[in-house]
Amino acid sequence: MRSKKVFFYQLVTTFLLTICSFTAFAATTDDTSPRFLAIADIHFDPFTACGNQKPCQLIEDLRAAPTEQWEAILTQQVKNQPKYFEDSNFLLLKSSLDELKNIAKTKQPKFVLVLGDMLAHHFRQLYTEYSSDTSQQSYQEFVKKTLTFLKSQTAQAFPSIDVFSAVGNNDSYEDDYVSEPNGSFYQDTGKTWSDLIHARNTRAAMQQQFPTGGYYAVNIPSDQRLRLIVMNTVLFSDHITDNNILDAANEELTWLHEQLQQAAYSGQKVIIAMHIPPGVDIYSSLKKNPFSVVELWHPEFTQRFNDEMNQYSTYVVGIFSGHFHMDLFQVYHYQHNIPLNGTPSISPVFGNNPGFKLFSYDENSLEMKNYQTYYLPLSMLSAISTQSAWTEEYDFDKTYQPTCSSCTLLDGVRTLRLTGRAAKNYKQYFNLQSPNAQPIAQFWSPYYWCETQSMTSAEYQACLMSTH
């Protein structure tokens, strides 16, 4: 009897040690996977500290000073804590970049994606309201200085890591969704943003391509097997009616075909970064009375994009976007399915908590493996310092596929259903657990659910019909 007990305990001990070893191996394997950071929708707003002061002394000081002095000016004059339903003030900007710097030191990402919308909403309107000089030249100079300042702040956070930036709909010398192909904004901003790319040849390639329409493609310097295609999808937006911009959008899609063709010929895998993804704008659709479906892109551009993805989906390992300010994902269904992953915003303007993502991918296959979302719960802040409040919100694998040790990000995204554990998690983390953001749970079925299942208006309508 005693020998049986000893054998049983030995068996249990061996089993537990095996499990612990496997867990440690899995953790070690994941820890050594290559990574990259994704940041979206910073929406830096230097006007939040102005209050009712018009013209605002802070803005006058910033206008008069070189960008090298902006940090000192903002540190001295901006004391207001970041708030829900406001864009990112200086304290939130600094807090976010400090946390990103810490994550970069510990996790060693290979590169960083900035997925558009560096400037605050209504930037031009606010400048007109708070500045004593409202001329176009003055405004353009202030935008240029603001983007240069943001570039410098980003460089401090990532002194040796390449940062690749995409254009958002608020990034312009004109106004929201207003851009000029081959214009001064793309020429100036291409030079500014390229400073964040350290590899000389890669930086030169970005500078050469960007002025055409705010898009470019480069090989990742740390891994030439990866081709990064940074699109300007603002040109595809349903808001655009200017024929020159629509022509530029078609040119970009022709360029996209060439880039995908080149990557396929070279045997590379492709990461696509953009601000506005294709699909349904559920936020705008729900504001319609009666409800009607609003697409994010002009349908003909969505169709052309889908044609390209169907042809080259074997090579595309992921599409990464911003714009929605929330934490989201879905599967784009092609011959080879592609995961879309939306990065939450730094700006809490829609009542969400600020956040960003750290992605990992397989070193051999280059397929996306996992991500962690980090967030700042504004409702819990008790002091002006926000740095210590940043924390990891959740780990995708542990949340959506906890029992699978070899699954990809695409496998986890596929677990989302209308009901069940995955749906519960999706709704919980969508607005980064904010008590103030848009009520996704109230409209989950069928509206938000169908958004995760659709790319076109026809697909969305079909989902609505089948879900009711």
Query: Distance between CA 191 and CA 204 in Å, rounded?
Result: 10
The 10 Å Cβ neighbour count of residue 445 is 14
Please report how the helices 136-157 and 90-107 are oriented relative to each other, as an axis angle in degrees rounded to 10.
30
Query: Distance between CA 95 and CA 377 in Å, rounded?
Result: 12
Model confidence over 45-80: pLDDT tens digits? Answer: 999 999 999 999 999 999 999 999 999 999 999 988
Over range 184-192, report the average pLDDT: 97
Model confidence over 85-120: pLDDT tens digits? Answer: 999 999 999 999 999 999 999 999 999 999 999 999
Query: Distance between CA 110 and CA 39 in Å, rounded?
Result: 14
Range in 204-208, 254-258, 289-293, 429-433 with the lowest mean pLDDT? 289-293
Model confidence over 157-172: pLDDT tens digits? Answer: 999 999 999 999 999 9
pLDDT at 185 over 90: yes
Compare 381 and 20 and report the one with higher pLDDT. 381
CB 361 within 8 A of CB 367: yes
Model confidence over 262-283: pLDDT tens digits? Answer: 999 999 999 999 999 999 999 8
Model confidence over 347-405: pLDDT tens digits? Answer: 999 999 999 999 999 999 999 999 999 999 998 876 545 556 899 999 999 999 999 98
Sheet (strand 316-321) strand order = 216-220, 223-230, 269-273, 316-321, 338-342, 328-332
pTM of the model: 0.92
Over range 133-162, report the average pLDDT: 97
* Cβ-Cβ contacts under 8 Å for 333 (sequence gap 6 or more): none
Residue 327 — φ and ψ, nearest 5°? -95, 110
pLDDT for the residue numbered 386: 54
pLDDT at 221 over 70: yes
Side-chain half-sphere exposure of 378, counting CA atoms within 13 A:
28
Over range 237-262, report the average pLDDT: 94
Query: Distance between CA 185 and CA 171 in Å, rounded?
Result: 9
> What residue segments make up the domains of the chain, in order of their start?
33-467
DSSP for 124-158, written as a single string = HHHHHHH-S---HHHHHHHHHHHHHHHHHHHHHH-
Q: Where are the alpha helices (DSSP H) in 113-242?
A: 123-130, 136-157, 184-194, 200-213
Place domain 33-467 in its CATH homologous superfamily: Metallo-dependent phosphatases (3.60.21.10)
